[in-house]
Chain A
Amino acid sequence: MARSNGKTSGAVEKKLIGVADTVITAAQQRKDPTLAIPIRSLSNVKFNEHKGIIEMGKGMQARAFFNVGMAKKFMQTVLVADALCELQRADLTTSVREIYYRTKHTIKNSHENTFDSQDESDPVIEDLEVSLAALREELHVRAENGGSVVGPLVLVDDGDRVDCARLGKGGYSVPSIVEPEFLQIKKCTAEFVLLVEKGTQWNRLSEDKFWRRYNCILLTGNGQPPRGVRRLARRLHEEKRLPVYVLVDNDPWGYYIYSVVKQGSINLAFESQRMAIPKAKFLGLSSGDPETYGLPRNVGIKLNDKDIARARELLNYPWFQKKNWQEEIKRMLSSGLKYELDALANKDFQYLTKKYLPRKLKEKDWMD
Chain B
Amino acid sequence: MREPKKAPLPTRGRKVSPSKTSPPATKSKQKGKASKTSPPAPEAKQKVNSSETSPPATEPKQAVTAVEMGARQRDISVSEFFTKNRHLLGFDNPRKALLTCVKEAVDNALDACEEAGILPEVVVKVEPVANGEALPPPSQASRFRITVTDNGPGIIRQQIPPIFAKLLYGSKFHRLRMSRGQQGMGISAAGMYGQLTTGKPVQIISRTGAKAPAHYFEVQIDTKKNEPQILEKKQITWESQRGTQVTMEVEGRYQKGRASVDEYIEQTIIANPHVKLTYFTPEGETKEYPRTYHELPPPPREIKPHPYGIELGMLLKMLQDTKSHWLSGFLASDFSRLSSRLAEDICKTAGLSPRARPRDIHGQDAEALYKALQSTKIMAPPTNCLSPIGEKAILTGLYRQIKGDFYTAVSRPPAVYRGNPFVIEAGLAYGRGPEVAAETPEKKPVSLAEGEQQEDDHELARVIRYANRVPLIHQQSACAIYKAVLDTTWRTYGVSQSKSALPSGPMVVFVHMASVWVPFTSESKEAIADYDEIRKEITLALRECGRRLGAFLKRRERAQSEFHRRNIFDLYIEEVVDACNRLKGGKLPTQKLKEQLQKIALKRTGGEKTDEVLGKTDGGPEGLPHSIIVTPEGVEGEVPALSSEPSNQTAPPAGTPEEEQEEEEKVEKHARPKGQAGPEDTGRRKGVRAKRRPRPKPRHKTHAGKPAGASAKRAPRRKR
Contacts and interface: CB of A to CB of B under 8 A. Distances in A.
Interface string A67-96: 010011011001101100110000000000
Contacts of A19: 580, 583
A308 interface: no
A74 B593 contact: no
B588 A74 contact: no
B604 A66 contact: yes
A324 interface: no
Given A24-B588, A74-B572, A117 B583 contact: no
A17 to B, nearest CB: 5
B596 A78 contact: no
B318 to A, nearest CB: 71
Contact of A106 (B447, B565, B604): B447
Contact of B600 (A27, A71, A75): A27
A16 B579 CA distance: 11
B451 to A, nearest CB: 8
Contacts of B600: 26-27, 30-32, 66
A108 interface: yes
A23 B569 contact: no
> Is chain B's interface secondary structure helix, strand, loop, or mixed overall?
helix
Interface in B406-447: 441, 444-447
A305 interface: no
Contacts of A17: 583-584
A23 B600 CA distance: 12
B571 A107 contact: yes
B5 interface: no
A65 B604 CA distance: 11
Nearest to A26: B600
Interface string A46-72: 000000000000000000011010011
Nearest to B595: A27
B447 A113 contact: yes
Contact of A27 (B448, B574, B581, B596): B596
Centre residue among A23, A79, A108 by max chain B CB count within 10 A? A23
Given A72-B568, A107-B574, A116-B450, A78 B580 contact: yes
User: For B441, B581, B600, B604, which residue has the most chain A Cβ atoms within 10 angstroms?
Assistant: B600
A220 interface: no
B332 interface: no
Contacts of B446: 111
A75 B451 CA distance: 21
B584 A20 contact: yes
Nearest to A68: B565
A169 B418 CA distance: 95
B593 A24 contact: yes
Contact of A82 (B444, B451, B569, B582): B582
Looking at B441, B575, B604, the one whose CB has the most chain A CB atoms below 10 A away is: B575
Contact of A74 (B448, B565, B576, B605): B576
A316 interface: no
B601 interface: yes
A130 B443 CA distance: 43
Contacts of A334: none
Interface string B580-604: 1111100010000100110111011
A101 to B, nearest CB: 11
Contact of B596 (A30, A66, A86): A30
Contacts of B445: 111
A71 B596 contact: no
Interface residues of B, number: 32
Interface in A115-131: 116-117
A111 B583 contact: no
Nearest to A64: B604
A23 B576 contact: yes
A106 B574 CA distance: 12
Given A24-B593, A27-B596, A30-B599, A111 B575 contact: no
Contacts of A110: 571
B447 A66 contact: no
Nearest to A106: B447
A114 B447 CA distance: 11
Contact of B576 (A28, A78, A86, A106): A78
A114 B444 contact: no
A42 B356 CA distance: 98
Nearest to A107: B571
B517 to A, nearest CB: 56
Contacts of A28: 596
Contacts of A114: 575
Contact of B572 (A16, A30, A71, A113): A71
A109 interface: yes
Contacts of A239: none
A160 interface: no
Contact of A23 (B447, B565, B580, B605): B580
Nearest to A80: B579
Contact of B575 (A31, A32, A75, A117): A75
Contacts of B450: 116-117
Q: Which of B572, B596, B601 has the most CB of A within 10 A?
A: B572
A291 interface: no
Contact of A66 (B441, B569, B571, B584): B569
A106 B447 CA distance: 7
Contact of A113 (B448, B565, B580, B584): B448
Contacts of B599: 30
B604 to A, nearest CB: 4
A363 interface: no
Nearest to A81: B583
B575 A20 contact: no
Given A17-B584, A108-B574, A66 B448 contact: no
Contacts of A86: 582
Interface in B590-634: 593, 596-597, 599-601, 603-605
Contacts of B448: 111, 113, 116
A72 B571 CA distance: 10
A4 B580 CA distance: 24
A32 B448 CA distance: 30
Contacts of B603: 30
Contacts of B581: 20
A112 interface: yes
Contacts of B572: 65, 71-72, 74-75, 107
**Which of B565, B571, B588, B603 has its CB near the most chain A CB atoms (within 10 A)?**
B571
Contacts of A71: 568-569, 572
Contacts of B582: 82, 85-86
A78 B583 CA distance: 9
Interface string A11-42: 00000110110011011101111000000000
Contacts of A82: 579-580, 582-583
Given A27-B593, A108-B575, A114-B575, A68 B583 contact: no
A79 B568 contact: no
Contacts of B576: 23, 33, 65, 74-75, 78
A24 B575 contact: no
Contact of A20 (B565, B568, B579): B579
A84 to B, nearest CB: 10
A130 to B, nearest CB: 19
Contacts of B597: 23, 27, 33, 65
A242 B435 CA distance: 75
Contacts of B579: 20, 78-79, 81-82
Contacts of A111: 441, 444-448
B455 to A, nearest CB: 13
Nearest to A75: B572
Contacts of A81: 579, 583
| CB-CB nearest 3 A-B residue pairs | A20-B583, A20-B580, A27-B596
Given A16-B583, A109-B574, 8 more contacts: A17-B583, A20-B579, A23-B580, A24-B580, A24-B588, A32-B604, A33-B576, A113-B448
12 contacts: A24-B593, A26-B600, A27-B597, A30-B603, A66-B605, A72-B572, A78-B576, A82-B582, A111-B447, A112-B447, A113-B447, A113-B448
